[in-house]
Chains A and B, each alone.
Chain A
Amino acid sequence: MTDNTDNPTPSPSRRSLLGWGGAGLALGAAAAGGAVAMARTDDDPAPDAGTAIAFHGAHQAGIATPVQDRLHFAAFDVTTDDRAEFVQLLKDWTQAARRMTAGQPVGEGGYGGLPEAPPDDTGEALDLKPSRLTLTIGFGPGLFGKFGLAEQRPAALVDLPKFAGDNLDKNRSGGDLCVQACADDPQVAVHAVRNLARIGFGKVVIRWSQLGFGKTSSTTPEAQTPRNLMGFKDGTRNIAATETGRLEKFVWVGEQDDPSWMTNGSYLVARRIRMHIETWDRTSLQEQEDIFGRDKGEGAPVGKAKERDEPFLKAMKPDAHVRLAHPDTNHGATILRRGYSFTDGTDGLGRLDAGLFFLAYQRDVREGFIPIQRNLATDALNEYIQHVGSALFAIPPGVRDKDDWWGRTLFSGEA
């Protein structure tokens, strides 16, 4: 009403930033297609926290995009059995996501409409900057049991095996759909998930969700590697947003991979990893450093001086975390991590309910997360952590332009 794509009046500060950072570039990237997509704003290694990340591209934003500070991740179950209705939901979600990532409110906005009716947008992100919001959708194994999609289920979308030490809570696991919302402002991320959930009522229901507050991985190597809640730098050699070759090899599904609808997509493993914070804090510095295989101050691998020095794995204890997780110990297996720390208050026993919400993207989990996690069965760190939630999603390719929508390649019949 008072707001539309051409004239988004209710949020001047979001709009003014959008002018140069958002829509213009997004359309440019879309017009030029996938080849140019790598040149979009999210590859800028030192982005301004207030800017908008282009929504359109060959790949979904929120994977190689420089990691934002905050996360709201939500897993949904699909309740509708009407394929057309579900496709419409994906289109409605795409449109809402396109607007929100550009810093615009959903629908006709957060105010100015009929006084007797609730506004289209919930309003808590009005006047806030786009905050580099990215929204990334994924399809879980359960979705392929519906809508006649069984034949489309990727072989790589396996049912994850049980790993040593898993103590999975089904209320924090699985899901037919996921939405990963990352932003530099937690309110912007929460607003996005809340509005998508609202649009989804009657078709999908939230199964579980997780807030994350501090990134634990970086896709911008020149930036400092963030620390996890154990106080350690981990993931120093994570794949950078600019490493096109490693992204193609380890993260993006290639044209030669099956199924073809997943080309330019990826696979996401999400694990809620609880940390036994109190016992960790009572562990001696020497033991902490031995467990990780790095020193706590600089983050240098055992026997080396600098964080980025090439680790000499044999110098570490056989059960050191870095040694077991390193690609050299895993036949080169490599994943892109963009996990977040979480703290959900206390657990009823006075212990901090905290840990790492692990998010890892890879071209094929059978060559990525699964062998690495199996190798970590003897990890010394396991005494201090426990995997309590788990989910796997197929991440479809990006939305190319304003006529495209999330999941179009999967639902090709409706394209």
Chain B
Amino acid sequence: MRPARPVSVAIAVAAALTAVTGCTEKSNAADGDHVVHVTATDDKCEVSKKEFPAGHVELAVENKGSKVTEVYVLFPDDRVVTERENIGPGTKQRVTAEVKAGDYRIACKPGMKGDGIRQTVKATGGKAIQRDPRLDKAVAAYRAYAQAQADETLPKAETFARAVKEGDLEAAKKAYAPSRIGWERTEPVAESFGDIDPKVDVREDGLEDGQDPATDWTGWHRLEKALWQDKKIGDRQKELADRLITDLKDWQNRVGKADITPTSMANGAKELLDEVATGKVTGEEERYSHTDLVDFKANVEGAQQSYELLKPVAQENDKALTTELDRQFAALNTLLDTYRPDPASYDFTSYDKVGKTDRKELSDAVNALAEPLSKLAAAVVK
């Protein structure tokens, strides 16, 4: 139709081919530069070089051990650059990545478990990004925390799912709130996987136009409604219990790959308080079970974890802010403790028993903490 179009496309394709060809030739010529040979055994992770040019890097992995392994390229804060799972004993695999100049880790995980055996490597050339190593440490620790929350949630969620599948209403009710704590503690990270959150944590009013609650509403809150409002467990609920476990396993597998930075940690802490301010303090989140205070507490704990990890840097940059945050965290936790008889348990007062005046007091305490918390990101990157 428009003659100009095919011509320009042809030119673009030709240019692209040239570029690819050129690149291939060049990389063949300098094979030693961009290929890192990784020899994995059951207790070692050997690399052929510790420095390579920034840009395209290729790991030539050979598993000489007896266990299945996996190999990662990681940022210093443990964020995953790239990975290859299921490398069987005696097999070879190639893993590629594009990297900017900076420090990285290559990790082998024999048995595909744990932190792995690590080697520090460096990509050189170009502009390097300078980061405070204390912040990388904080991010790595937070990443581990998020992973632990997912790992610890699964068995609790399975207890909940089992009770649902057995049709045991009371046991399911009892297991419901505890199954959510790990998710609520790391909600901003969990929500960063945009496709998991709507499957496990959506409320009925969160469904989009055209979605049918009977078929499209899944996750915790659908089961909450069945247990507390409908007071019965049908076949559909048993299906949903399985589905919840499948989706939470997806979360567990992906949480380590979440993009976490010091500022996203700081703002994630604030977002946890926002969750409280908009969903929990109003009683909207757990409208059938009224277990809002359990979520509330978990959100605050997650925010506090993030804050404590960033505090060494924030304190140096803005002492007044961390003093205020310490005070407001303490105040909110003290207030929350008045709603549970035992500070070691998560049995909180049912939120429908919390009156208007007390809700305002909780809301005021959340504002008192969230406002200074919104300044944490600035104090971290100063």
Q: Which residues of A contact B (CB under 8 A)?
A: 79, 113-114, 116-118, 198, 201-203, 205
Shortest Cβ distance from residue A171 to the other chain B in the assembled complex, whole angstroms: 9
Q: Is B196 an interface residue (CB 8 A)?
A: no
Please judge, given known A-B contacts A116-B263, A116-B267, whether A79 and B368 are in contact too, CB under 8 Å: yes
A202 and B372 within 8 A (CB): yes
Interface segment, one of B114-122, B292-300, B373-381: B373-381
A201 and B381 within 8 A (CB): no
Q: Is B284 an interface residue (CB 8 A)?
A: no
Please judge, given known A-B contacts A116-B263, A116-B267, whether A202 and B324 are in contact too, CB under 8 Å: yes
- 14 extra interface residue pairs, beta carbon distance < 8 Å, beyond A114-B377, A117-B375, A205-B367: A79-B364, A79-B368, A113-B378, A114-B378, A116-B377, A117-B378, A201-B368, A201-B370, A202-B328, A202-B368, A202-B371, A202-B372, A203-B368, A205-B364
Shortest Cβ distance from residue B271 to the other chain A in the assembled complex, whole angstroms: 12
Q: Which residues of A contact B377 (CB under 8 A)?
A: 114, 116-117
Q: Is B369 an interface residue (CB 8 A)?
A: yes
Q: Which residue of A lies closest to B331 (CB)?
A: A202
Bound-state CA distance A79–B362 (Å) is: 13
Shortest Cβ distance from residue A205 to the other chain B in the assembled complex, whole angstroms: 4
11 example contacts (A-B, Cβ-Cβ < 8 A) are as follows A79-B368, A114-B377, A116-B267, A116-B378, A117-B378, A201-B370, A202-B324, A202-B369, A205-B364, A205-B367, A205-B368
Bound-state CA distance A198–B372 (Å) is: 10
Q: Which residues of B contact A (CB under 8 A)?
A: 263, 266-267, 324, 328, 360, 364, 367-372, 374-375, 377-378, 381
Q: Which residues of A contact B375 (CB under 8 A)?
A: 117-118
Q: Which residues of A contact B368 (CB under 8 A)?
A: 79, 201-203, 205
Picked from A114, A117, A198, the residue with its CB within 8 Å of the CB of B371 is A198
Residue with the greatest number of chain B CB neighbours at <10 A, chosen from A198, A202, A203: A202
Q: Which residue of A lies closest to B369 (CB)?
A: A202
Shortest Cβ distance from residue B323 to the other chain A in the assembled complex, whole angstroms: 11
A201 and B371 within 8 A (CB): yes
Residue with the greatest number of chain B CB neighbours at <10 A, chosen from A113, A118, A201: A201
| Top 5 A-B pairs, shortest CB-CB distance | A117-B378, A202-B368, A201-B371, A116-B263, A116-B377
Bound-state CA distance A288–B60 (Å) is: 94
Q: Which residue of A lies closest to B262 (CB)?
A: A116
Bound-state CA distance A117–B369 (Å) is: 16
Bound-state CA distance A288–B84 (Å) is: 85
Picked from B324, B367, B372, B381, the residue with its CB within 8 Å of the CB of A116 is B381
Please judge, given known A-B contacts A202-B324, A202-B328, A205-B364, whether A114 and B369 are in contact too, CB under 8 Å: no
Shortest Cβ distance from residue A172 to the other chain B in the assembled complex, whole angstroms: 14
Q: Which residues of A contact B360 (CB under 8 A)?
A: 205
B367 and A201 within 8 A (CB): yes
Q: Which residues of A contact B372 (CB under 8 A)?
A: 201-202
Shortest Cβ distance from residue A143 to the other chain B in the assembled complex, whole angstroms: 17
Bound-state CA distance A202–B266 (Å) is: 19
Q: Which residues of A contact B266 (CB under 8 A)?
A: 116
Q: Which residue of B lies closest to A202 (CB)?
A: B368
Q: Which residues of B contact A201 (CB under 8 A)?
A: 367-368, 370-372
A118 and B374 within 8 A (CB): yes
Shortest Cβ distance from residue B168 to the other chain A in the assembled complex, whole angstroms: 43
Q: Which residue of B lies closest to A113 (CB)?
A: B378
Q: Which residues of B contact A203 (CB under 8 A)?
A: 368
Shortest Cβ distance from residue A83 to the other chain B in the assembled complex, whole angstroms: 15
Q: Which residues of B contact A198 (CB under 8 A)?
A: 371
Shortest Cβ distance from residue A120 to the other chain B in the assembled complex, whole angstroms: 10
Bound-state CA distance A114–B267 (Å) is: 13
Q: Which residues of A contact B324 (CB under 8 A)?
A: 202
Bound-state CA distance A205–B360 (Å) is: 10
Q: Which residues of A contact B267 (CB under 8 A)?
A: 116
Q: Which residue of A lies closest to B366 (CB)?
A: A201
Bound-state CA distance A202–B367 (Å) is: 7
Q: Which residue of A lies closest to B374 (CB)?
A: A118
Bound-state CA distance A118–B378 (Å) is: 9
Q: Which residue of B lies closest to A205 (CB)?
A: B364
Shortest Cβ distance from residue B177 to the other chain A in the assembled complex, whole angstroms: 29
Bound-state CA distance A202–B373 (Å) is: 11
Bound-state CA distance A195–B68 (Å) is: 59
Q: Which residues of B contact A117 (CB under 8 A)?
A: 374-375, 377-378
Q: Which residue of A lies closest to B378 (CB)?
A: A117
Q: Which residue of A lies closest to B370 (CB)?
A: A201
Q: Which residues of A contact B364 (CB under 8 A)?
A: 79, 205
Bound-state CA distance A118–B375 (Å) is: 7
Q: Which residue of A lies closest to B328 (CB)?
A: A202
Q: Which residues of A contact B263 (CB under 8 A)?
A: 116
Bound-state CA distance A109–B371 (Å) is: 17
